[in-house]
Amino acid sequence: MDSLTHIVLGAAIGEALLGKKIGRKAMLWGALADTIPDFDVFASPCVSPAQQLLIHRGITHSFLFITIISFLLGYLFSRWFKKRDVSRNQWTTLFFLGMFTHILIDSFTGYGTGWFEPFSSYRVSFNTIFVADLFYTIPFLICMVIAIIAKNGSQRRRRWNKIGLIISSSYMVLTMINKLYMNSVMREGLDNKHIITSDLVTTPTPLNNILWTAYATDSTGFWFGYYSLFDKSKEINYYHVNRKENLLKPFENEKDVKILKQFSKGYYCMSEHDSTIFFNDIRFGQMGGWDQPDSTFVFSFKLNKNADNTMALNRSRFKTSFSDAFSSLVSRVKGR
Cβ(228)–Cβ(237) under 8 Å?
no
Domain boundaries, the chain: 3-175, 193-333
pLDDT in tens, 192-245: 999 999 999 999 999 999 999 999 999 999 999 999 999 999 999 999 999 999
Cβ(25)–Cβ(86) under 8 Å?
no
Cα Rg, the chain, nearest whole Å: 22
In angstroms, what CA-CA distances link 166 with 12, 30, 59? 11, 17, 30
* Helix/strand/coil for 204: strand
In angstroms, what CA-CA distances link 277 with 250, 287, 303? 10, 19, 6
pLDDT in tens, 98-138: 999 999 999 999 999 999 999 999 999 999 999 999 999 99
Give the model's confidence band at 310: pLDDT under 50 very low, under 70 low, under 90 confident, else very high: low
Whether pLDDT at 317 is above 70 = no
Cβ(114)–Cβ(61) under 8 Å?
yes
Residue (of 7, 6, 12) closest to 157 by Cα position: 12
